[in-house]
Amino acid sequence: MEDKAQEYTDMAISFATTYGLNIIGAVLILIIGWIIAGWARGFVAKMLGKSPKIDITLTSFLSSTVRYIILIFTLIAVLGKFGVETASLITILGAASLAIGLALQGTLSNVAAGVMLLIFRPFRIGDFISAAGFAGTVKTLGLFVTELATGDNVQIIIPNSQIWGAAIQNFSAHDTRRVDLVIGIGYDDNIDDAIAEIGHVITADDRAMTDPEPAIFVGELADSSVNIVVRVWTESGNYWPLKAALTKDIKHRFDDKGISFPYPQQDVHLINDA
């Protein structure tokens, strides 16, 4: 029994002599690496947080990525203390990363597009945009998808790669927008009177801006009408209310003044050949 105990004691002493320093070094590397990873994450988050152009989602993603990269290298260093061939391990990790990247190519493209959207900020939460064939108010912008809500409150989820790879129209990007209307009057109506009445309607609405000045001019002599183009600037939030109000008020004004809105018509000439 004593021989067995002595044998175990000798094995423990031999193990501690052989691997003791390596274990202590590995523990120290692990602790130091963990501390540095946490510090680096906080530092990156703090630096990125100072820029108003970088979204909090991107800040969290990049800071977490830095932390995990440091932890991976820390783990490789710990394994190296126990004689593991780190060069081979790095090669295996590289091959595995390539395989995973090929398998998740579509997902990674969405992440890359999400990062670009979060950096360049072509739109923000609450903006009304048209992208990838859909139009709506931006509800969320993540690393993988963007969520829109249409005017009738239908949820639309679009992969970021489709948005970044197509044209983006942001109707909320500027403080002002121009309301464009085309008003048709009859050929028998007085053009100057019609333009004057439209000007009175615009002046009566406080939402219509005076700088830049409204523009009212004849745009086309169409088949059945003289088309008058109306261009009025307003604040972006007043675009649809002003457009609806001007359309309605011009109709009422023309009715009161006897200015007609002609229907499409054609003159047919019959030739009676005796």
Q: Any idea where the domains of the chain sit in the sequence? A: 2-103, 122-170, 176-257
Share of the chain above pLDDT 70, in %: 77
Q: What per-residue confidence (pLDDT) applies to 165?
A: 86
Q: Does domain 122-170 have CATH number 2.30.30.60?
A: yes
Q: What per-residue confidence (pLDDT) applies to 105?
A: 55
Q: What per-residue confidence (pLDDT) applies to 99?
A: 63
Token output for 228: 């008058």
Angle formed at CA 188 by CA 185 and CA 193, multiple of 5 degrees: 60
Mean pLDDT over 88-114 rounds to: 67
What pLDDT band is residue 100 in, cutting at 50, 70 and 90?
low
CATH number of this structure's domain 176-257: 3.30.70.100
CA distance 97 to 75: 17
The gap between the terminal CA atoms of the chain, to the nearest Å, is: 140
Indicate if the pLDDT at residue 274 is higher than 70.
Answer: no
Mean pLDDT over 5-16 rounds to: 58
DSSP H or E run through 71: helix 56-81
Of residues 247 and 143, which shows the higher confidence score? 247
Indicate left, alpha or beta for 210 from its phi (over 0: left) and psi (-120 to 50: alpha).
Answer: alpha
Q: What per-residue confidence (pLDDT) applies to 224?
A: 86
Indicate if the pLDDT at residue 169 is higher than 70.
Answer: yes
What pLDDT band is residue 110 in, cutting at 50, 70 and 90?
confident
CA distance 59 to 11: 51
Amino acid identity, position 23: I
CB environment 175-195: b (16+ within 10 A), e (fewer): eebebebebbbbeebeeeebb
201-214 pLDDT, tens digit per residue, is 999 999 999 999 99
CB 228 within 8 A of CB 219: yes
In the sheet with 226-235, reading across from the earlier edge strand, the strands are: 176-185, 226-235, 215-221
The pTM assigned to this predicted structure is 0.65
Mean pLDDT for the chain? Answer: 82
Q: If you count them, how many residues does the chain have? A: 274
Q: What per-residue confidence (pLDDT) applies to 179?
A: 97
Of residues 126 and 25, which shows the higher confidence score? 126
26-73 pLDDT, tens digit per residue, is 778 888 888 888 888 888 878 877 777 666 666 766 777 788 788 888
CATH number of this structure's domain 2-103: 1.10.287.1260
* Torsion angles phi and psi, residue 21, rounded to 5: -65, -35
